[in-house]
Amino acid sequence: MSFIEFNDSLKVDNKLIDQEHGVLIEYINLLQKAIENETSTRITGQVLEGLTEYTNTHFFVEEEMMKAYDYPDKANHMKAHDGFRNRLATLIEKHENGESELSNSVMEFLKEWLTEHILKIDRKLSDYLADKSFR
Which CATH number is 34's domain given? 1.20.120.50
pLDDT score of 134: 65
Nearest to 52 by CA among 92, 105, 79: 92
Expressed as residue numbers, the domain containing 82 is: 13-131
Q: Give, for all 135 residues of the chain, the pLDDT tens digit.
A: 789 999 999 999 999 999 999 999 999 999 898 888 877 777 888 888 999 999 999 999 999 999 999 999 999 999 999 999 999 998 888 878 877 667 778 889 999 999 999 999 999 999 999 988 765
Distance of CA 42 to the CA centre of its chain: 21
Nearest to 31 by CA among 61, 69, 4: 4
Give backbone dihedrals phi and psi of 11, rounded to 5 degrees, phi first. -85, 140
Q: Is residue 8 part of a domain?
A: no
pTM, 2 dp? 0.90
Q: Is residue 20 part of a domain?
A: yes
Q: Is residue 89 part of a domain?
A: yes
Number of domains in the chain: 1
